[in-house]
Structure 1
């Protein structure tokens, strides 16, 4: 499969950071049984992966800005392009040795996400999307699932963090949706939830209070696979609000009806 030079840069960076995380995952699994525990080590693993991404992306595109979960914003001379990066989405999963985590890289040009890469080094699944060119998983074209009966659908959600978000609101939403669908899942990595919708593994997904690095690449993935992604409360840009709902056109519409009640 032939991809653009930009995608190739992103893939190379993601794979190099992924090798670092995969090595660190082995150490995390060892630390599970120690008194010290893996928390501090995971924090270092996260920062190491982000530095690898920054070095590789900055070398290939030296003028671009860079927004990372760990290092914050680094201004570039090219004000129209910015990398938005999560070096380890699914940190809690990684912390416990659960192989459901990913590196997420999005490229924004003048406010629009134009390229995205999501990579899970634990199972070597590489998701790629480029605006107007489709979405792919390990070079296979992706399409969202086509189900049009909500009671046949499996939907994912995210749980509010302790001390953040409205837990009562989430409980209301969860109860309303789980009564209408075939199954409700919570995997713990927003980028992969979005990628799973793009791949047709999940029919829909919603979550509130996310950051741009959680969803930039994944939102593009869903759209390029034929899905719909919006803010939960309005037709606005979830990349700005952090409140995302997605699925095929029908499932998205049904979830929106429930969530906006």
Structure 2
């Protein structure tokens, strides 16, 4: 199926509601005593808290209740296949768990609907000073990127401004490195420890660009559509260089056209560069 403009608008409103309610779940547990488990072998790199699990369970249940023919992929392991609808919710219930568990208010909830591999709806909740409900940045395909009644736009210009912030932490040895000019004039590097938050702030023009070295699908799915609808672009990197990242299908130029499944979304990882198309 291909979603109509009306269907996209209705689903976007549902995604905003999901983001608001998930934000409340997270804030009810923020800066309170919590146990932290670790999913990695080292036992300190990849934390998970009760908040991650409760938020993901809520999103899995709500998307299933309202959209029983849609699939679901969550970072913490929840999932179901989409079947013939080809529509998958891809969520990170708490992006920035290390910040969250240490009492730093730099985290978010990232919610995206992916149609046959392409992000078409996105909503990101972020806590924000002096706002009870935090910020919700949202977009749908063809509808622009918004925060409330304010339409968002990526940072302007074809070159980074030295005094403005960027995320440039993803240069991987042997794959791609910054040029001397970029190191000298590439902007002030600032990472908030939450990939999805950083992409939302590319969409609103705070960050000039971001480069993330190896994010998962749930880290970037919502951010890709937010940046695109704010006038930006996202690129990924393969053996033939950079290419437009418009789908999670494993199809850089010359690649295959495999159907999207829980497994393929769960295993997707690739560099992502996002910003004004004249700049990146």
Q: Same fold (TM over 0.5)?
A: yes
Rounded Cα–Cα distance in structure 1 between residues aligned with 2:181 and 2:144? 33
Partner-residue secondary structure (3-state), 1:249 = coil
Gaps of 5+ in 2: 1-5, 38-46, 249-268
2:141 maps to which residue?
131
User: Following TM superposition, where does structure 1 have runs of at least 4 consecutive aligned residues deviating by more than 4 angstroms?
Assistant: 168-172
Are the structure 2 counterparts of residues 182 and 210 from structure 1 closer, same or farther at C-alpha, using a change threshold of 3 Å? closer
Gaps of 5+ in 1: 32-37, 161-165, 253-261
Q: Does 1:235 align with 2:243?
A: yes
1:76 Cα offset (Å): 3.3
Structure with greater proportional helix content: 1
2:220 maps to which residue?
215
C-alpha deviations, 1:159-198, integer Å up to 9, x for none? 69xxxxx5x4599549874322231111111111111111
| Backbone CA RMSD of aligned residues | 2.6
1:157 maps to which residue?
168
Matches within 5 A, 1:88-127: 88-121=94-127, 123=129, 124-127=134-137
Rounded Cα–Cα distance in structure 2 between residues aligned with 1:175 and 1:192? 28
Q: Does 1:249 align with 2:277?
A: yes
Matches within 5 A, 1:11-160: 11-28=16-33, 38-40=35-37, 43-121=49-127, 123=129, 124-152=134-162, 153-158=164-169
Q: Does 1:224 align with 2:234?
A: no
The one of 197, 205, 226 equivalent to 2:202 is: 197
Are the structure 2 counterparts of residues 174 and 98 from structure 1 closer, same or farther at C-alpha, using a change threshold of 3 Å? farther
Q: Number of aligned residue pairs: give it.
A: 237
Rounded Cα–Cα distance in structure 2 between residues aligned with 1:170 and 1:186? 21
More off after superposition, 177-186 vs 243-252: 177-186
1:148 Cα offset (Å): 3.1
Are the structure 2 counterparts of residues 118 and 174 from structure 1 closer, same or farther at C-alpha, using a change threshold of 3 Å? farther
Are the structure 2 counterparts of residues 170 and 185 from structure 1 closer, same or farther at C-alpha, using a change threshold of 3 Å? farther
* Alignment check: 8 A CA contact 1:9 1:60 kept: no
* Alignment check: 8 A CA contact 1:102 1:118 kept: yes
* Alignment check: 8 A CA contact 1:68 1:86 kept: yes
Rounded Cα–Cα distance in structure 2 between residues aligned with 1:86 and 1:101? 11
1:122 Cα offset (Å): 5.0
* Alignment check: 8 A CA contact 2:111 2:123 kept: yes
**TM-score scaled by length of structure 1:** 0.81
* Alignment check: 8 A CA contact 1:191 1:215 kept: yes
Are the structure 2 counterparts of residues 58 and 121 from structure 1 closer, same or farther at C-alpha, using a change threshold of 3 Å? farther
Are the structure 2 counterparts of residues 45 and 181 from structure 1 closer, same or farther at C-alpha, using a change threshold of 3 Å? same
